[in-house]
C-alpha cells in the first residue's frame, strides 16, 4: 500500500514539470503547491500541513483508507522527499512540533484545520 501511494505521489510530482522548480536561494513553494504535489493523484483527505523550517520542507498529513500518512515536500522544488505511514493518534503532536525537533521553529499558523483536495 505504501509503495502504491508513493508511486502515485511521484507520478503527480512528475506532472508538475519544470514550472515548479526553484533554484537554491529562491522563494519556497506555497502551502497550496505543497498540498497539490502531495495529493494530486491520491483520493485522500488532508489532516494538516506545517512548514518544517530546519529541513526546509512542507510536511503534509493526509488520511486514506483509515490510515494516516506524512508526505514530505521539498519547500524549494515541490519534489516529494518521503512518504511515511503515521499513527492517527500522533498527527496532532507532529503538527504542533511536539513529537520531534521538526516544525518547532517554522510551524505554520492554523495548520490543524482539515482540508480536502479537489482536482
User: Is pLDDT of 4 > 50?
Assistant: no
Mean pLDDT of the chain: 70
User: Is pLDDT of 111 > 80?
Assistant: no
Q: pTM for this structure?
A: 0.58
Q: What is the pLDDT of residues 64-78, one digit of tens each?
A: 899 999 999 999 998
Over residues 41-49, mean pLDDT:
81
Classify residue 23 as left (phi > 0), alpha (psi -120 to 50) or beta: beta
Over residues 65-92, mean pLDDT:
91
- The confidence score (pLDDT) of residue 43 equals 74
**Domains delineated in the chain:** 2-17+26-116 (3.10.450.40)
User: Is pLDDT of 28 > 70?
Assistant: yes
| Distance between CA atoms of residues 34 and 73, nearest Å | 6
CA distances from 25 to 21, 28, 69, 74 (A): 12, 9, 29, 13
β-strand pairing of 115-116 with 80-86: unpaired
User: Is pLDDT of 108 > 80?
Assistant: no
Number of H helices, E strands in the chain: 3, 5
User: Is pLDDT of 5 > 70?
Assistant: no
Amino acid at each position: 500500500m505504501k509503495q502504491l501511494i508513493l508511486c502515485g505521489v511521484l507520478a503527480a510530482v512528475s506532472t508538475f514539470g519544470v514550472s515548479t522548480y526553484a533554484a537554491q536561494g529562491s522563494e519556497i513553494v506555497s502551502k497550496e503547491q505543497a498540498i497539490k504535489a502531495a495529493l494530486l493523484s491520491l483520493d485522500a483527505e488532508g489532516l494538516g500541513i506545517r512548514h518544517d523550517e530546519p529541513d526546509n520542507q512542507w510536511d503534509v498529513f493526509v488520511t486514506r483508507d483509515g490510515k494516516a500518512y506524512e508526505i514530505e515536500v521539498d519547500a524549494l522544488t515541490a519534489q516529494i522527499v518521503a512518504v511515511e505511514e503515521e499513527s492517527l493518534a500522533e498527527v496532532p503532536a507532529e503538527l504542533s512540533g511536539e513529537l520531534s525537533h521538526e516544525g518547532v521553529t517554522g510551524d505554520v499558523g492554523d495548520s490543524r484545520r482539515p482540508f480536502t483536495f479537489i482536482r
